[in-house]
Amino acid sequence: MSDGINLYGGRYPGTESVPSMIEHFEEGRKVCAAGRLMARRIMGKSTFCDLKDESGRIQIYGKSDALGEDQYNLFKDLHIGDIIGVEGSLFLSKTGEKTVRLDKFTLLSRIVRTLPEKWHGLKDVETRYRHRYIDLIVNDEVRKTFKTRSSVIRRIRAFLDDKNFMEVETPMMQPIPGGARAKPFVTHHNTLHTNLYLRVAPELYLKRLLVGGFERVYEINRNFRNEGISVRHNPEFTMLELYQAYADYHDMMDLTEELVSGLVREIHGTDEIPYGDKTLNFTRPWKRISFYDSLKEKTGIDFKTADLKDSARKLGIKIDFTDADVTDADILNEIFGRYVEEDLWDPTFVIDYPTMMTPLAKAKEDDPSVVYRFELFAAKMELANAFSELNDPAVQRERLTSQKEIIGEAKVIDEDFLLALEYGMPPAGGLGIGIDRLVMLLTNHHSIREVILFPQLRPEKQEPLEEAP
């Protein structure tokens, strides 16, 4: 309380959204709304303000003879950023703006800090990420981005549910960090007296469900990789991962095209979308290129037969070849990123990857040196990864034994996963799509931190924010 006024009110029922008031505008219609005070124009015995809720803003008008002298003085002394509830009637101002004429107002939450002026124009973008709540208050475009993100995830679920996929949940803490080559985060379970790992991928658990008889499963999951931070990488990120029995990577290409091109049209109303100074065309069918053929076209080197380290040196690829953790797969991946990936703007499927890079995918019958795998690229970013899944337990054991690094730093083979395969896993196609990067593409953002509400940042001493007067 302050001077007998409750600065932090309670429940405020019966509110109507700003878009609803504007869409269903009728002169004199009684309305009740709540939101944040964002602007004020005092004109003697009357005051105009902007009231902003989650979906929009509307002008409100308070007048001394309607509110009473005492209430009017309180109204015009409200802080910018205060959260208030209002009751009144709709009318058109002299300038033709839809406005709420106040009969009464209620202070619901007093702001005790000052909102930064022109917050969205700050050069230090990390400040926006550290104080995302302020960023969301004052920057409508930021809120729009996260509304789009929510819409994307909702539409993905609807798309897969319509195709009879079942959404499932698999463990986020795992005894063995399997399913991808990545350094895991380690934690300890006191009761079990054992270390556990935040999952780097849900793949091996989802495949167990195929063994168990579920034929179409998906998970929109959080993965954790204890690796670098960049404009395209966050240690905690969101993936869509799905598996379809009796399918292969061709089916996954068709599914990916249908899903992503549909999202593009639903959000933008066209197959062409802006990304920076480029225009990307998602009209189907998308281009498909071979991993080895595209490398040979760009470098003149046939990497199927070439000495990889010698070729990398000739191409000026900077890799520490003395590092025991650097594999041939790492070298190929680096060369591909330098010479092919940089030109992949419109959506492109890169197909038929080297077997050495993909131990969990099925090898091609006519050429065992490559596997049935694709990665989808657009705007020079990898967006999706898919296989015709390897379901031969003997070959899978051989692959994991010779390439143990694929399951992380612990370098332990998941024996239970191999046991599951021995009970028979149907042939299947598997697909993973990076939700964060997909949202980057759909909202024309070039940093992953712009599409994650609370991205990981380096610790920093916090300067106190300015207090409100």
Structure tokens at 312: 């990398």
Q: What is the DSSP secondary-structure string of 128-141? A: HHHTHHHHHHH-HH
Q: Which of helix, strand or coil describes residue 218? A: strand
Q: Which residues contact 171 (CB under 8 A, 6 or more apart)?
A: 199, 205
d(C-alpha 388, C-alpha 427), whole Å: 8
d(C-alpha 176, C-alpha 196), whole Å: 7
Q: Which residues contact 461 (CB under 8 A, 6 or more apart)?
A: none
Name the residue among 276, 280, 278 with its Cα closest to residue 267: 280
Return the pLDDT at 400. Answer: 87
Rg value, the chain, Cα: 28
What are the structural domains of the chain?
A: 18-109 (2.40.50.140), 138-286+346-450 (3.30.930.10)
Question: Tens digit of pLDDT per residue, the chain (469 long)?
Answer: 566 688 999 999 999 999 999 999 999 999 999 999 999 999 989 999 999 999 999 999 999 999 999 999 999 999 999 999 999 999 999 999 999 999 999 999 999 998 887 554 444 688 889 999 999 998 999 999 999 999 999 999 999 999 999 999 999 999 988 888 788 999 999 999 999 999 999 999 999 999 999 999 999 999 999 998 899 999 999 999 999 999 999 999 999 999 999 999 999 999 999 999 999 999 999 999 999 999 999 999 999 999 888 898 899 888 776 666 678 888 899 999 999 999 999 999 999 999 988 889 999 999 999 999 999 999 999 999 999 999 999 999 998 888 665 444 446 889 999 999 999 999 999 999 999 999 999 999 999 999 999 999 888 765 555 554 4
Return the pLDDT at 44. Answer: 86
pTM beyond 0.95: the answer is no
Q: Which residues contact 92 (CB under 8 A, 6 or more apart)?
A: 27, 98, 99
Q: Residue length, the chain?
A: 469
Name the residue among 258, 204, 243 with its Cα closest to residue 412: 204
Q: Which of helix, strand or coil describes residue 398? A: helix
DSSP assignment letter at 184 = P
Measured from the Cβ of residue 243, the count of other Cβ atoms closer than 10 Å reads 29
pLDDT in tens, 444-461: 999 999 999 999 988 876
d(C-alpha 236, C-alpha 247), whole Å: 30
Residue with tokens 């208050």: 137
